[in-house]
């Protein structure tokens, strides 16, 4: 099964034009920089998909995951499926109806996380 299949199963018809009104309503309820917590439901080479309980998937790309080093990425030691993640709302991908998440701002470096997040592997 692919990540797309997983997302379609977890968030039925989330990309459908029929969900456009619900998507626009969600964008009014969530604010840029708002802290949210959710559960990692899938991973890909470019990030972790998180269910933040809003009916649409959220994506935290690897470049904005706090404390992620190249070594941890290669070992797969990041955002285990089923773990809890806290991140900030970073934007909205209208075409795919996806919420963007981040823990560090791109270009800020790994040493300066925006929030202290529980990424499911504390203490490492």
Could you tell me if residue 123 is inside a domain?
A: no
Residue 74, domain CATH: 2.40.50.140
User: For the chain, what is the HEC assignment?
Assistant: CCHHHHHHHHCCCCCCHHHHHHHHHHHHHCCCCCEEEEEEEEEECCEEEEECCCCCCEEEEHHHCCCCCHHHHHHCCCCCCCCEEEEEEEEEECCCCEEEEECCCCCCCCCCCCCCCCCCCCCC
Mean pLDDT of 11-25: 92
Could you tell me if residue 115 is inside a domain?
A: no
Could you tell me if residue 112 is inside a domain?
A: no
pLDDT-derived band at 74 (thresholds 50, 70, 90) equals: very high
Could you tell me if residue 113 is inside a domain?
A: no
Mean pLDDT of 99-117: 62
Residue 107 pLDDT > 80, yes or no? no
The domain containing residue 66 runs over which residues?
3-102
Could you tell me if residue 119 is inside a domain?
A: no
The domain tally of the chain equals 1
Give dist(CA 57, CA 54) in Å, integer: 8
Query: pLDDT exceeding 90 applies to what percent of the chain?
Result: 68
Tell me, what's the pLDDT at 6?
79
pLDDT-derived band at 1 (thresholds 50, 70, 90) equals: low
């Amino acid at each position: 099964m692919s990540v797309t299949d997983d997302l379609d199963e977890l968030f039925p018809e989330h990309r459908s034009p029929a969900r456009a009104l619900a998507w626009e309503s969600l964008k009014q309820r969530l604010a840029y920089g708002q802290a949210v917590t959710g559960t990692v439901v899938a991973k890909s080479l470019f990030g972790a998909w998180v269910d933040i309980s809003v009916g649409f998937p959220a994506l935290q790309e690897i470049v904005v995951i706090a404390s992620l080093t190249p070594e941890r990425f290669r070992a797969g030691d990041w955002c285990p499926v089923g773990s809890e993640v806290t991140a900030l709302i970073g934007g909205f991908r209208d075409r795919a109806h996806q919420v963007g998440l981040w823990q560090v701002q791109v270009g800020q470096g790994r040493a300066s996380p925006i929030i202290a997040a529980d990424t499911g592997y504390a203490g490492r």
